[in-house]
Structure 1
Amino acid sequence: MTLVVPDPTRTVPLPLRQQADVRDRWLTQRLLDLLPGLMDRAGIDLWIVTGRENNEDPVLATLLPASWLSARRRTVLVLHRSDDGVTPVAVSRYPVGQFLAGWAPGDGGQWSAVRRIVEQAAPRRIGVDVSARCAAADGLSVAEHRALTEALGPWADRVVSAEDLVVGWLETRLPEEVAALDALNRLTDRVLAHALSPDVVVPGTTTAADLAWAVHQRLADLGVPPWFHPGVTVQRAGVPLADEGGTALPALPQDTVLRPGDLVTCDAGLASLGLATDLQRSAYLLREGETAPPPGLRAAWTAGTRVRALTAEALAAGRTGDEVLAAARAAAAAEGLDAEVYSHPVGVHGHGAGPAIGRWDRQDGVPGDGERVLRPATVFALELAVRVPVREWGGQCVRLALEEGVELTPTGTAFLGSPQRELWTLPAG
């Protein structure tokens, strides 16, 4: 599929019905081509995903047809791995897209139908969505867990956590999904470029909060709503970084009025086609008479892009998140760069399931998620920051944050969208 991304002042070209067709086609392909291997890797031959209306398992939405915006009453999906692939069965009051109907209300109780399917499948290991360390894999509520266990009877002894299967399902992207994320990253970049321009920013008038809401509104107007409220940080000479749990972070509040000489960073991500993006863009507000940022800020940008390249080089299939973190930080330190690396998978969710490559407040590794292995066909938000003293600011440090989408391939990484190549500037007035 080719996504045509227009100027961000126009409507995204895919109408909702066409988006639904795309998403349903992807789901069919994922069930046929991805799920069998993922279930084999996890050692699970029956996967049960269940949720009730207004209390859905996060995974449930990734298995439902696009026209289903939530579970309906109780929706139970049973996916059986056999020699012929994966057979998807829905134990639901209503038909569920590509899933075979496994129950009708006149056939007895819903849980009785689940028990019958399990007995027919005779699985060795039954995966359910319970997990202490991965939120996306912990969608089975206490009441549903109790009801399912009672329904399974002696088969309950074969129940195991589906955590590894859930992570694989959520982190792995089809080639078409990667192509869509490439286009959606371009759109996110264009929205941020428009936001960090004289069309939106009026020095002396616009506040950080104004800018954040302008991005939020633009994304909503385009039909690609943000999955988090955009973040805006402002740094300026005379306002040093503040200590936040041992990490030096920008200190100016959201009601700060932007003015010439400020370094502004905007963090935003959109949601569309069941996928998410997460990017950051930075711009310098020129002072009267300036035509470029001061050399100290340009040096900070160069340092940031260097750490970005070193981190991209460290991302390699087969490494754990903690190993990537250590390698990237060691490479940066070897070049005298003061860096933090806190990259993460992005796809179905903006902060996606999979290997965590540091956190801004955990630069020594992330227990649990940092031990996960990186795998090809995963998309990451390559996120990091550098601290650099700026001579023109009296040696005051700036913390320059960068974030781009990258695909992990069998041979390395490939940037998605339009990576920021230089520090943007806005005129003084």
Structure 2
Amino acid sequence: MTATTGHPVLGAVSPDPTRTVPLPLREQADVRDRWLTQRLLDLLPGLMDHAGIDLWVVLGREYNEDPVLATLLPATWLSARRRTILLFHRSDDGVTAAAVSRYPVGQFQPAWEADEQPGLSAAESQWAAVRRFVDQASPARIGVDVSADFAHADGLSHTEHGLLMAALGPHADRVVSAEALAVGWLETRLPEEIAALHAMNRLVHEVIDEAFSPAVVTVGQTTALDVAWWIRQRFADLGVDPWFQPTVDLQRAGSPLVDAQGTALPGVPYDAVICPGDLVHCDVGLSSLGLMTDTQRNAYVLAPGETAPPAGLVAAHAVGNRMQDLTTGVLRPGRTGDEVLAAARAAAAEAGIDGDVYSHPVGVHGHGAGPAIGMWDAQDGVPGAGSVPVHPDTVWALELCVRVPVPEWGGQLVRMGLEQGIALTADGVGYLDRRQTELIVIPGR
């Protein structure tokens, strides 16, 4: 991506030659619909085979959509319309994608006309069309989105489940959870989607670089909360959305986060003014093209007489990078999330690093479907989600923290939190755009 040509997904550069801007909405819709076609053709057959499902039923009513449904609708559909039912039948010829819907659904084959059976209500006629399709397909295993471990794969509401089971009649005993299929569909990324996420992560990094600069921060006046809101406003101005409220927090000498016994302390208030000598940390995620990012970065505000951050803080950040290396070094397809977590923590212990790992898939959702590699409050494994194996062609938020005493701060423990987008492919782990290896420096007053 260059300042002269821009990026094929994010688009041409803005008048500021250092910044890339998203495509116009109409062009974004074209990209998303092209991706959907490619995913249905290239990914779905293999995912259905792996899950052992030959008919997948995804349905939802307007404003109560299954989370998977939004990833299957045309880009111009911002929600389901009335009751939208999508049917995917796996056969020797590929996957037949049909819609039992009151309105045409993009490229899906229409499988129902509302007035095709006089004397039946629209709802009765719609469910009769589902039954007719199933009768013709005669599937051995019918997958529906119910899951105890993944909210993303648990989108079939109680009411719709009951109506579907009644409509299936003698086929109802063939219904199984489509958890593995739904999770696989949500977590697997096309090469072009990964390329887009490279560009999206670059945009996030650019915005953070600007936020952590004199263009935004007036030391001694600007608060951490001011910077958080500036980031959100900047996203809005650029035409992208946050998927959570950006946060900016401070650490400073004399205001530790924990005491000598490890008990949590108040630290620096979230709305405190940014002062010389502060360590500034952010957590930021944007949404564009139906994909998400999740990033944390760190900066230091120079104190009077300083030309660089204290060596202790530089070393603490380097420990965080080392923890990243240890985690990516054990992130391998076939291992479960809990196995990756245990291996990363064992490697950290051997290296004498005090840290936690709580990484997660990111893509269609910020906290995406797929194996959990720890949670901040679950460092011995995550029941359910931690037992799922890692797959290639997935994107992750490599999220973790280390705790390091800083000599210049009287040995006070500093919590260095890092989060970086990575892609796991057949070639191994690759960082999306670039990871932070040095503290961003904010000039003091």
Identify the residue that residue 330 of structure 2 maps to in structure 1. 314
Deviations along 1:360-390, whole A, 9 cap, x unmatched?
1111111111111111100001111000001
Identify the residue that residue 147 of structure 1 maps to in structure 2. 163
Work out whether 1:364 is the aligned partner of 2:373. no
Query: What SS does the corresponding residue of 1:289 show, helix, strand or coil?
Result: coil
Q: Tell me which moved more, 397-406 or 13-22.
A: 13-22
Q: Given that residues 209 and 232 in structure 1 are in contact (C-alpha distance below 8 angstroms), is that contact kept between their aligned partners in structure 2?
A: yes
TM-score by length of 2: 0.93
Aligned length: 427
Identify the residue that residue 186 of structure 2 maps to in structure 1. 170
Work out whether 1:34 is the aligned partner of 2:43. yes
**Displacement of 1:208 after TM fit?**
1.6
Determine which of 93, 103, 107 is the counterpart of 1:98.
107
**Displacement of 1:252 after TM fit?**
2.2
Query: What SS does the corresponding residue of 2:162 show, helix, strand or coil?
Result: helix
TM-score by length of 1: 0.97
Determine which of 279, 284, 288 is the counterpart of 1:268.
284
**Displacement of 1:2 after TM fit?**
3.0
Identify the residue that residue 58 of structure 1 maps to in structure 2. 67
Query: What SS does the corresponding residue of 1:191 show, helix, strand or coil?
Result: helix
Equivalent position amino acid for 1:95 in 2: P
Query: What SS does the corresponding residue of 1:180 show, helix, strand or coil?
Result: helix
Identify the residue that residue 302 of structure 1 maps to in structure 2. 318
Cα pair distance change 1:331/1:26, threshold 3 Å:
same
Identify the residue that residue 428 of structure 2 maps to in structure 1. 412
Q: Given that residues 235 and 250 in structure 1 are in contact (C-alpha distance below 8 angstroms), is that contact kept between their aligned partners in structure 2?
A: no
User: Identity of aligned pairs, percent?
Assistant: 68
**Displacement of 1:13 after TM fit?**
4.3
Determine which of 127, 130, 152 is the counterpart of 1:111.
127
Q: Given that residues 344 and 352 in structure 1 are in contact (C-alpha distance below 8 angstroms), is that contact kept between their aligned partners in structure 2?
A: yes
CA distance in 1, matches of 2:392, 2:15: 31
**Displacement of 1:251 after TM fit?**
2.9
Identify the residue that residue 45 of structure 1 maps to in structure 2. 54
Identify the residue that residue 98 of structure 2 maps to in structure 1. 89
**Displacement of 1:11 after TM fit?**
7.1
Deviations along 1:58-91, whole A, 9 cap, x unmatched?
0001000001000001100001011111100000
Determine which of 411, 420, 425 is the counterpart of 1:395.
411
Equivalent position amino acid for 2:382 in 1: V
Q: Given that residues 318 and 437 in structure 2 are in contact (C-alpha distance below 8 angstroms), is that contact kept between their aligned partners in structure 1?
A: no
**Displacement of 1:253 after TM fit?**
2.4
Deviations along 1:126-178, whole A, 9 cap, x unmatched?
11111111000011111111111111111111111111100000000000000
CA distance in 2, matches of 1:54, 1:384: 35
**Displacement of 1:6 after TM fit?**
3.6
**Displacement of 1:204 after TM fit?**
1.4
Q: Given that residues 233 and 250 in structure 1 are in contact (C-alpha distance below 8 angstroms), is that contact kept between their aligned partners in structure 2?
A: no
CA distance in 1, matches of 2:184, 2:29: 23
Cα pair distance change 1:250/1:338, threshold 3 Å:
farther
Q: Mark the runs of 5 or more structure 2 residues left unpaired by the alignment.
A: 1-6, 118-124
CA distance in 1, matches of 2:197, 2:297: 17
CA distance in 2, matches of 1:284, 1:170: 37
